[in-house]
Amino acid sequence: MAEELRIIALGGYGEVGKNLTVVEYGEDLLVIDVGVAFPNVDMLGVELLLPDFAYLRENAARVRGIILTHGHEDHIGGVPFLLREVRIPVYGTRLTLGLLRGKMEELTSAPLPPLHEVAPGDRLSLGPFTVDLIRVNHSIPDGVALGVHTPAGLIVHSGDFKFDYTPIDGQLTDFAQFAHLGQEGVLALIADTTNVGRTGFTPSERMVGETFAHLFPQAPRRIIVALFASHLHRIQQVCEVAARQGRKVVPIGRSMERCVRIALELGYLRVEPDILVPQEALARYRDEDLVLLTTGGQGEPLSALVRMARGEHRQLEIHEGDTVIISATPIPGNETMVWRTINDLFRRGAEVIYYPHAQVHVSGHASREEIKLLFNLLRPQYTVPFHGEYRHLVAYADLAEEMGLPRDNVFLLENGDVLTLSATKAAVTERVSADTFTVEGTKVQRIVPAVLRERQELAESGVVLVAVTVDSRMGTLVAGPEITARGWLGEEAELGELLAAARLRVKQALARFSPRELQDPTLIANRLRNVLTRYFHRHTHFHPLVVPLTLETERQL
């Protein structure tokens, strides 16, 4: 009897980010990508989001390997966290591993685990899995899709992809290999749906270079290009256009410097000598001879661009006449921060050029016609959309139906769903643990909605602390009440008056307590909370979080 073939959706299904897919055949597991996501604005205090590693932890001995499709954070950022818990070999292309290595060295001083370099076009054998690495185009070099051959059928995972017919590095998508797999017969396609809502084809990255070639000569002084540090094709184009115009290119900030250094070392950036200049040497050049490369295209508060826009950067200022090119579009949720940054730059007298007013950005993800082309090259029996919000998964299902696939053969998996497949049927048969985990400080923990709600409440209403000391054997008051507040109301004088009045109110309440009641710290705390909550609501319509503390003299040192 054939073993079961299962696709386990652990991250990136019905959401964008922290991608993690498992293909399981019989006793063996193959992990595809282990990403992180960035928190929503309402996840106060959370630095990063991680997928749930429980299933991988429980089945660690059965995992044959982790294969990484490309080097973006939402695909590799979770690897260091997973490898803290389990030891699994990691496979990836040269740049992907280079970026992962840089990341791991930053996070830990422990020796690195074995990272196995593979190349697009390679075929890997891992237990029962034979994996083809198929070159695709994306907004980072060295990306691959995966063809996972198992005894029960072939599963294709698209990775993050677009079809660029004129790629900057000359590395075309391996259409022949997709066609070949299509002829062999694809049981299931797991497909990137990010841009399923966009009609037509995503333009070639080369278009952005053409825009640069048009814009750079018009810039009277410095040019500042804001883009993702790992977008090496675009950095390559900046360098080429700058070189033609006799400008030097200066990577600004730690992550930009790190990416450029890694890319140079590994051969993913080919620039003429002397074009790249370190930030320390900036002062030696005239403004009109410079192009600055910075992050901050998403309005990230700590990026060099945003600090410059706010006038908070230690070394760099925006000058009248600077040309700032925002070579990115806002990821959903970042819009306000991006517009604010652009407004700030304009206020400082810069000329700001941003999409869609100029073609200074193209997406790294396939639009509808490209998704259709991939689908038609492969003609899968079943398909599973990933890398999209739920609305994108639905749009992909509509698209697959348009191309003739029965609706029942499209599976809108969400994290935790286990899809069991055979040549004759497929069904979601099980759910495994797929919670979201948060990284805060050094701590990784399951997300606790109650704590996030408490934080929101703290933030919106502030907190009032009240403390009182009792002798609980005697049932007498010893000290207090003392009251203080944080994050609440505006002017100090007014707050002082209000708190003084509230303190009086608590005193009156305490005066009515019987000695017996004063022996019960929990009762005292609850009463004080109620008295103050009512008091503040009546006098201010606010609902600060009231936190009472009852101290007891017995518990002294």
Site residues (CB under 8 A) for its own copies, limited to 39-98: 40-42, 44-45
Write the Ramachandran bin of 189: left for phi over 0, alpha for psi from -120 to 50, otherwise beta. Answer: beta
Quote the CA–CA distance of 263 and 541 in Å, as a whole number.
Answer: 57
Contact range with its own copies by CB under 8 A, out of 200-208, 244-252, 303-311, 443-451: 443-451
Stretch that binds its own copies, among 49-57, 125-133, 201-209, 448-456 (CB under 8 A): 448-456
Q: Which CB sits closer to its own copies, 424 or 556?
A: 556
Nearer to its own copies, 128 or 475 (CB): 475
Q: Pick the stretch among 36-44, 82-90, 175-183, 231-239 that binds its own copies (CB under 8 A).
A: 36-44
- 557 in contact with its own copies (CB under 8 A): yes
What minimum distance in Å lies between the beta carbon of 212 and its own copies? 21
Residues 173-202 binding its own copies (CB under 8 A) are 197
Q: Of 123, 270, 319, 391, which lies in the binding site for its own copies, with binding defined by CB under 8 A?
A: 391
413: left (phi > 0), else alpha (psi -120 to 50), else beta?
Answer: beta
Buried-exposed string 193-221: b where 16+ CB fall within 10 A, e elsewhere: bbbbebeebbbbbbebbebbeebbeebeb
Q: Hey, which residues between 215 and 244 contact its own copies (CB under 8 A)?
A: none
Residues 290-319 that bind its own copies (CB under 8 A): none
Choice among 231, 361, 365, 387 that is catalytic: 365
Mask for 504-533, x = binds its own copies (CB under 8 A):
---x--xx----------------------
Supply the minimum distance, in Å, between the C-beta of residue 440 and its own copies.
Answer: 7
Chain centroid offset of residue 160 CA: 14
Which of 5, 10, 12, 14 contacts its own copies by CB under 8 A?
14
Output DSSP code: residue 303. Answer: S
Helix axes 94-107, 254-266, angle to 10 degrees: 140
Indicate which residue of 142, 164, 192, 417 is catalytic: 192
Minimum distance from CB of 417 to its own copies (Å)?
A: 13
Angstrom distance (rounded) from CA 363 to CA 328: 8
8 Å CB contact between 149 and 163: no
Q: Which of residues 463-482 bind its own copies (CB under 8 A)?
A: 463, 465, 467-469, 477-480, 482
Q: Report whether 144 contacts 93 (CB < 8 A).
A: yes
Q: How far is the CB of 479 from its own copies (least distance, A)?
A: 4
512 burial (CB, 10 Å; 0-12 / 13-18 / 19+) is: exposed
Interacting residue with its own copies among 130, 279, 461, 533 (CB under 8 A): 461
343 binds its own copies (CB under 8 A): yes
Measured CA to CA, the distance from residue 194 to residue 279 in angstroms comes to: 36
In the numeric block, which tokens belong to residue 277? Answer: 């200049």
Catalytic site residue 192? yes
Note whether 358 binds its own copies by CB under 8 A: no
Q: How far is the CB of 164 from its own copies (least distance, A)?
A: 24
Work out which of 144, 316, 342, 528 binds its own copies, going by CB under 8 A: 342
Q: How far is the CB of 74 from its own copies (least distance, A)?
A: 17
Q: From CA 328, how far away is CA 47, in angstroms rounded?
A: 22
Rounded to whole angstroms, the Cα distance separating 100 from 94 reads 10
Share in percent of the chain as helix, strand, coil (round to 5)? 35, 25, 40
Residue of the chain from 17, 78, 209, 462 that contacts its own copies (CB under 8 A): 462
Q: What is the radius of gyration, based on Cα positions, of the chain?
A: 29
Q: Are 50 and 436 in contact (CB under 8 A)?
A: yes
- In angstroms, the CA 476 to CA 387 distance is 63
Count of residues binding its own copies (CB under 8 A)? 74
Q: Which is nearer to its own copies, 86 or 489 (CB)?
A: 489
Q: Which is nearer to its own copies, 144 or 546 (CB)?
A: 546
Give DSSP secondary structure letters for 382-437: EEEEESEEHHHHHHHHHHHHHTT--GGGB----TTEEEEE-SS-EEEEEE-----E
Site for its own copies contains 547 (CB under 8 A):
yes
Interacting residue with its own copies among 2, 185, 339, 504 (CB under 8 A): 339
Q: Can residue 117 be called a binding residue for its own copies (CB under 8 A)? A: no
Q: Known catalytic residues?
A: 192, 365
